[in-house]
Amino acid sequence: MFIFQIIATIIVVCILVYAIIKKLNAPTTLLCLGLIILAITSLISGTSVMRENTIGNNFLDLFEYIANQFSTQVTKSGLLIMSVMGFVYYMNHLKASNLLALLVAKPLKKLKSPYIAVLITILLGATLKLFISSHAGLTTLLMATIYPILIQIGVKKKTAVSTVVLCGAYDFGPACPVTNYVVKLDEIASKTNIIDFFIHWQLTITLMVIFTIAIVFTLISIREDKRDNSISEEIQTQDPKELGIPMFYAIFPIIPLMLVFIFSKLVVGSIVISVTAANILAFVLVFILDVICKKDKKKAFNETEKFFEGMGKSFGNVIVLIIGASVFTAGLNSIGGITNILSLLSQSSLGGIGAIIVSTFITFFTGVITGSGVAATYTIVPLMPAVAEVTGISVLKFVAPIILAGGMGRAISPISSAVIIASKMSDVDIMDVVKRNLIPVLAGFMVLIVSCLIIL
């Protein structure tokens, strides 16, 4: 039975990988696989997936379970993610995110060496990722702002576009939906909060990864550009004033993060605001200021629909993926193979270290084949509390590298939306971007594993 469970788990994972490679819809694939597995295990065991909460029929309980997952995930993490993405969408519409990116890009014009600019761009872009949580959104903004500047100062196209993609390859920080999802899980929420997790479990290893990728990428770009015979182009950049909005609008995208930091145990102490509330409050503040500043009050009022439109799109793109992943995870857990595999790892000479390496690598690889750090992280993280219990290692030491690994894998995925957007906007072949980013990302991944094992 032990071996059968492991074999069955491997088969299920292979089916998932095959479906993803064939570009089948990820949420539907996860949901269907999870439903089929739960149905089979329920039939074999004769027990309901709802256990004591059964409605009286094991078959109908399968769909009751999915309904409960919709309700649970929307309540726990759905509203949080929708509020974050709604605010991001609203900021993009008001061009506040564009203005922020333009102002950050301005100092780069003064640099004489193109490769110093490349290095600094990755570091500044990674900092912007704290405020603009969407990799695709940040890539779009930087392609319209910093990319032209890099081209103007002599950076080759392949290097410039790959630089932009690498800016958003890190899921971290209090405003990151993935980080918030992980910290909100019951087993993890009891051990930490979003600020403590960011400072004590994310910040150091993330900085090491970012610096590693930036340095390795810069060195590789110097070598590769010498082989590139293409002629550098000149593109006219946009002046911040051309956006037609006040300069202080650049502060708007940062407001939620400022609120979360100020009203936290780290600063005020007596008042702690949630990320969801911070985004809603920021939305209200920006709305009021926008109405005051614009002559057309009706237009400013109606533009708030973009916030709700962003919330709706995040539900269709992200929340359903979380629900599908949760059902798939429940299916894998019902087989018992994952626990058995990691139990074997914990009993080997590698023990918990091996479990951390394997789980982080699986997340990284899933990010590569799905093009989504969300899919990778949301599928694997719910399994980690059980693994941590088996290995005797804090669950936080498992999830910290996993969160980063999914986003890093996304940066070398040919089906990643950020890679596709950057490639199309620059007319650079997608595989050229993937190849240019491959070694730096792998180097960053190795540093992630080592730093996690040593520092955390």
If you write DSSP's letter for every residue of 30-92 in order, what string do you get? HHHHHHHHHHHHHHHH---TTGGG--S-HHHHHHHHHHHHHHHHIIIIIHHHHHHHHHHHHHH
- In this structure, how many other beta carbons lie within 10 angstroms of the beta carbon of residue 255? 20
Position 340 pLDDT exceeds 80: no
Sign of CA dihedral 387, 390, 394, 398: negative
Q: Check: CB of residue 84 under 8 Å from CB of residue 307.
A: no
Distance CA(64)–CA(272), nearest Å, equals: 35
Q: What is the pTM of this model?
A: 0.71
More confident call, 366 vs 294: 294
Position 343 pLDDT exceeds 70: no
Q: Residue 318 carries which side chain, given as an amino acid letter? A: V
Domain ranges of the chain: 2-455
Distance CA(336)–CA(18), nearest Å, equals: 21
More confident call, 260 vs 406: 406
Most confidently predicted of 3-12, 24-33, 191-200: 191-200
Position 234 pLDDT exceeds 70: no
**pLDDT at res. 212:** 97
- Is residue 410 helix, strand or coil? helix
Paired tokens of 190: 């009891």
Taking CA atoms, 452 is separated from 179, 357, 391, in Å, by 17, 10, 16
Mean of all residue pLDDT scores within the chain: 83
Distance CA(220)–CA(224), nearest Å, equals: 6
Position 347 pLDDT exceeds 60: no
Provide long-range contacts, Cβ within 8 A and 24+ apart, for 20-29. 20/369, 20/370, 21/369, 23/415, 26/321, 26/324, 26/370, 26/372, 26/375, 27/320, 27/321, 27/323, 27/324, 28/324, 29/324
Position 348 pLDDT exceeds 60: no
The Cα angle at residue 50 between residues 322 and 188, in degrees rounded to 5: 45
Q: Check: CB of residue 243 under 8 Å from CB of residue 102.
A: yes
**First vs last C-alpha separation in the chain:** 36
Position 201 pLDDT exceeds 80: yes
**pLDDT at res. 338:** 62
Q: Check: CB of residue 442 under 8 Å from CB of residue 211.
A: no
Q: For 307-335, what is the mean pLDDT?
A: 80
